[in-house]
A and B are shown apart, each in its own frame.
Chain A
Amino acid sequence: MASDQKVLELNDLNVHYFTPRGAVIAVNHVNLYVKKGEIVGLVGESGCGKTTVAMSTLQMVSAPGRIVGGEIKIEGQNIVNLPEKELRKLRWSKLALIPQGAMNSLNPVTKIKEQMADGITAHEKISGAALRDKVLKLLNDVGLPERVYNMFPHELSGGMKQRVCIAMAVALNPAVIIADEPTSALDVIVQRVVAQTLLDVKNRLGVSMIMIGHDMGLLAQMVDRVAVMYAGNLVEVGPVGSIFEHPYHPYTQLLIDAIPSTKQKKPLKVTEGLTHDLRNPPPGCCFQFRCPFVRDACRQKPPEFKQMEPDHFVACVQYN
């Protein structure tokens, strides 16, 4: 299904938050691409920089954050430093977002129809009955009843709101959709429904997606490739099957180990630890303070990415 055409490329992306007490290095030399029709899962614990990757792709990093280096290419066009007006045209039509906060991502004082319509009319000349039909069809596509059209956000459940967000995101058939933890705020059953909705939409429209999450188990069922992020760095990237079969990086192993299983009772060997202060990354590997296999070489210089299997890369001294 995935062709070789890269619709989104992040090349050596660096994003820092310039706080009064120093620059937070939230995204550090990240390289990632999404091929047409592919879902790439971006996984890592809270605070590792996933949302920052998402927002910088939209050129919407919140202050005091700034993209300090690298390229973001959408269908080959570098959009870093594009003027605001050009960016506005590009947003939503080429690059849509399903935001992290499911409960709060819709304007509480306007009806669903208005919020769905304004994203469309900002980019397309369409109005009246045609617009109405389009919105109704989008609602129908994500399995929502027609009456949602005239409702306010507070009248919908969390899952319904998130499905409205999905419907909005696919409205213009964008090249890439970035879904930032689209299901984290929902309870388990609703999570399944929303995840299924996303997959349906993806299969029908063939959109490409970056799916952000912290739950390896849930992500594994939805994505084609996985990118594992730790403290602003990508540490392992590969096809989902290959990653689960051979997780090379100690952090990836930890994440996969943490997936609960009903078949075997695992001792909860969680080496929970704190990520180092992102203002002061250590020289060498970013995972050295929590890694069970840490050695002297790890503290010298950052490990380089090495290809272990087709399309499967890891950054760890053990394999350098």
Chain B
Amino acid sequence: MGGLTRGYFIQRLLMFFLTIWIGVSLTFAIPRLSGSDPTTAMLLTMMNARGYVENADKIIAAYKESFGLNDPIGIQYIRYLWNVIHFDYGFSFAKFPAAAWSLVTPALPWTLGLLTVASVLSFIFGVTVGSLMGWRKTPRWLNNILPVSLTFTSIPYFMFGILLISIVAFKLHWLPATGGYSRDVNPGWNAPFIKDVLAHAIMPLISIVITSMGGWALGMRGLMIGVNNEDYFLLAQAKGLSPARVFFRYGIRNAILPALTAFALGIGSLIGGSILVEYIFAYPGTGYTLYRAIQEQDYTVIQTITNLIIIITATGVLILDLLYPLIDPRITYKKSVAS
């Protein structure tokens, strides 16, 4: 055992930076390998919009110059890395004078807020339902109704979202249909705005939670069934412990370990957002921003969001690595991963 050693910490930290470096380099290389030229693409959009553009090749050259695309690739790479460290991704291709980063930041709180809450709720509900389904001692009546909570898993979540909008918003007028907040409230820390934001978040939240908890539940059910057959689980029952103690201390406590790993690995995808949910609810989050950027071939914005995903995933894994020995004593704070 022993506490967190410096060797372990440094090793994990190096892994953290290495992961980010590799990922960030890939987002640099992939667009350049794809062969399509963003500046030409921009001009094409312009042409479509206005019909005709004078001096098209001059504009392309000027664009290339201002985006630094004429420099040798090595210089471009170094400059790119330098900029990544400073969260400076240059201008947006599609909305030119605007900085790419400035297009992403306003969307971040919406997505992070919605998806963090949704993911945590989905995990908690899913794990609870799955553990109960996998436990032999779950009362029969409960075991009969639990699977009902998973019926929506088989419906694609955008279908579920559309269903919610049409019933709850349009038919019943209980909740606003789309957007992050209404036009008639003042953004800021005031009660009407907060209430409005919450009202707008309910339906996207529910559609994500209801449709994604099934995955956790089914996984957890399998893990729990496995633990049911472990000798230590039988012995706990033979000891005459209360069912609650057997369920939590011996059951969930062991079965949840792989699920926690999966959860930590999924943290990065929070930024990618639930693109379809954000799209259907016209929610002003990063998922929607990413969707628009891909449509507009806005490479710098795509890079910004992709790099954020990479950094946050790496952070999630780092935190898991640092916490894991605390939740699973078989993993020790040794320099390399113990068996």
Contact = CB atoms under 8 A, between A and B. Distances in A.
Interface of A: 58, 60, 62-63, 87-93, 96-97, 99-101, 104-110, 118-119, 122-123, 152, 154-155, 165, 168
B231 A92 contact: no
A78 B90 CA distance: 81
B249 interface: yes
Given A109-B328, A122-B245, 14 more contacts: A89-B240, A91-B238, A93-B240, A97-B235, A99-B231, A100-B231, A104-B230, A107-B250, A108-B329, A109-B329, A110-B249, A118-B245, A118-B249, A122-B239
Contacts of B6: none
A122 B241 contact: yes
A123 B240 contact: yes
Interface string B216-257: 000000000000011110111111111001000110011001
Prevailing SS type, chain A contact patch:
loop
A122 B240 contact: yes
Contacts of A118: 239, 241, 245, 249
B136 interface: yes
Contacts of A101: 231
Contacts of B1: 152, 155
A119 B230 CA distance: 18
A59 to B, nearest CB: 10
A108 B249 CA distance: 11
30 contacts: A58-B238, A62-B234, A87-B240, A88-B241, A88-B242, A89-B240, A92-B239, A96-B238, A97-B235, A99-B238, A104-B231, A105-B231, A105-B232, A106-B232, A106-B235, A107-B232, A107-B253, A107-B254, A108-B329, A109-B327, A109-B330, A110-B249, A118-B239, A118-B245, A122-B239, A122-B241, A122-B242, A152-B329, A165-B235, A168-B239
Interface of B: 1, 136, 229-232, 234-242, 245, 249-250, 253-254, 257, 327-330
A110 B229 CA distance: 18
A99 B235 contact: yes
A106 B232 CA distance: 5
Contacts of A109: 253-254, 257, 327-330
Instruction: Kindly list the 4 A-B residue pairs having the minimum CB-CB distance in the complex, ordered from nearest.
Output: A91-B240, A119-B239, A101-B231, A105-B231
B254 A60 contact: no
Nearest to A120: B239
B234 A60 contact: yes
User: Which of A100, A107, A168: most chain B CB closer than 10 A?
Assistant: A107
Given A96-B238, A122-B239, A154 B230 contact: no
Given A109-B253, A154-B329, A60 B232 contact: no
Nearest to A55: B234
Contacts of B236: 107
Contacts of B329: 108-109, 152, 154
Contacts of A63: 136
Nearest to A110: B249
A97 B230 CA distance: 15
Nearest to A178: B238
Contacts of A105: 231-232, 234-235
